[in-house]
Chains A and B, each alone.
Chain A
Amino acid sequence: MKITLDHMYMVTGLLLMVFALRSLTDRSNGKRVGTALFWALYAVTFLFGNAIPSGIIGAMVVVMALIASCKGLGLGFYGEASKEEKRRQADRFGNSLFLPTLVIPIVTFLVAKFTSLGALVGLGLGSIAGLVAVMALTKDGLGRSINEGRRLIDAIGWAVILSQFLAALGFLFDKAGVGGVIAQMVSSVVPTGSALATVVAYCVGMALFTMIMGNAFAAFAVITTGIGIPLVVVMHGANPAIAGVIGMLSGYCGTLMTPMAANFNVVPAALLEMGDKNGVIKAQVATAIPMLCINIALMYFLAF
């Protein structure tokens, strides 16, 4: 039997279901019912996502969003170790603590490189291998590691579903024809006689539309067919390969500046338990804007 991504979704779903059940019995969590319901619904989308009609899944997602917006998620009790205890443990295990964290990327890499299973299945298998490694090292059981996992996912909270949710929004924006309107607006204000002006329009257009869609890949087709090809390539004769790749990199500058790219900007802020959920974006703006200018210059000097 070949291991597929669906098996990894099954494991994730089971883990989330255990989180849900433990949340429900966690009396120290004042919002245990909301928390449990949220993780249980999420678990169902992993376990039965392909079997349930997508309209029902959509409704479940809306319910999850409503639970989160009504502040229905809370923190519980996870039997955490004290700071002193952790220091003692660090002294006891030393640098061997790094080994299980390295098992995850190494197994991911090996699976991606030497099997036909793909990197995502690799990540799943790597996590399982890492779990075995950490339990062997610390002699702790599965229950404790699940509780620690629950501590982390409760700290991330609703932000965990934001990336998947935003992908749906990108699709709906596309349906409404948002991209076409933006491309039209940009090309109507650009002085098309100047090659530099069209390059600026293409690069800035990529960055802006990426910020709206949260994803440079989603922005690329729209802005390249709307601005890049007609104005930069056809009108001014830029090399399409060079203009294309630098256009995409300009889109990445937009990714650095938008909460819509939740998996890169918002989820990490939650994962790192930062006070300010937009802190990562704020740190990145001072890199993203100069990089956008550099990309404009590179396209202007290299693509013609």
Chain B
Amino acid sequence: MIRLVGVLVVIVGLGLRLNPLLVVIVAGFSSGLAGGMGPYEILEAIGTAFVTNRYMSLFILTLPVIGLLERHGLREQAELFIMKLKGATAGRIMLLYMLFRQATSAVGLQLGGHPTFIRPIISPMAEGAVAKGRELPQSVLDQIRSMAAAAENYGNFFGQLIFIAAGGLLLIKGVMDQAGYSVDLLTMALYAVPTAVAAFLLAAVRYTMFDARMKKLSLKGEEERR
């Protein structure tokens, strides 16, 4: 049971709303000590993993581009663009983006991402479709932004394994090979399709409901102003 001490630290620490970085340090040290490592060994493990995983933060390079475009009205333009489109709702924009993300990752293209698509384009478009020129309170903005960020994750997760050379499939193959089962990549890719379709249908329901909720909200807002 002592082996689970790190997990316990994470659950309690995040539950107490402590800073996640602090929680991770304490959890890492307690887990490492429980696993029989010395303090310097633990520091080495943290350093090695941190350096190996620098690729996760390469998106930093996109920030000057996105930032400068925002200075010149990128978000405002995305809002304007959507307001001119008839029938464009926040939910439909996000669902369409999810489909685009699923379809492109199913053929092995990693087109997409929160810094390159959601922040500069998809989220402002969705916000514009809801706001229609009005100011939105932060709580409503948060709801729209969370749904927009989720569209990226749904499309990415429930599309990528359809690609026959996906990293995830190769990992499955590796684990199964090691256990003495030879598995076929094409079969696996094929059986990722039902989940992908189900995810899209479920998302379609959720984004439609989201549109209904936003509509109700804007009707209420208009009544209050009257």
Chain A positions near chain B (C-beta within 8 angstroms):
5, 8-9, 11-12, 15-16, 45-46, 49-50, 53-62, 64-66, 68-69, 80-81, 86-95, 97-98, 100-101, 104-105, 108-109, 112, 119-120, 123-124, 126-128, 130-131, 133-135, 137-138, 140, 144-153, 158, 160-173, 175-178, 180-182, 212, 216-217, 220-221, 224-225, 229, 233, 239-242, 244-249, 252, 255-256, 259-260, 262-269, 271-276, 279-280, 282-284, 286-287, 290-291, 294-295, 298, 302
Contact = CB atoms under 8 A, between A and B. Distances in A.
A121 B183 CA distance: 31
Interface in B48-75: 48-75
Contacts of A262: 20
A119 B57 CA distance: 14
Nearest to A252: B157
A203 to B, nearest CB: 11
Contact of A291 (B5, B10, B58, B202): B202
B215 interface: no
Nearest to A180: B3
Given A120-B58, A268-B152, A90 B119 contact: no
B195 A171 contact: no
Contacts of A120: 55, 58
B148 interface: yes
B43 interface: yes
Contact of B150 (A127, A220, A283): A283
B90 interface: no
Contacts of B64: 15, 131, 145-146, 148-149
B22 interface: yes
A233 B70 CA distance: 52
B116 interface: yes
For the complex of A and B, the 10 pairs showing the least CB-CB separation, nearest first, are A148-B67, A90-B73, A58-B43, A57-B47, A58-B47, A149-B64, A54-B47, A176-B35, A168-B49, A127-B61
Interface of B: 1, 3-7, 10, 14, 18-22, 24-25, 27-28, 31-32, 34-35, 37, 40, 42-78, 80-81, 109-121, 123, 138-139, 141-143, 145-150, 152-154, 157-158, 161, 167-169, 171-172, 175-176, 179, 181, 183-184, 187-189, 191-192, 194-195, 198-199, 202-203, 206
Contacts of A275: 138-139, 142
Given A12-B60, A59-B43, A176-B32, A245 B181 contact: no
A220 to B, nearest CB: 6
Contact of A86 (B18, B27, B72): B72
Nearest to B141: A274
B176 A244 contact: yes
Contacts of A101: 65-66, 69, 74, 116-117, 120-121
Nearest to A101: B120
B24 A169 contact: yes
A121 to B, nearest CB: 9
A144 B64 CA distance: 9
B50 A167 contact: yes
A65 B20 CA distance: 9
B34 A176 contact: yes
B127 to A, nearest CB: 10
Contact of B54 (A49, A65, A266): A49
Contacts of A119: 110
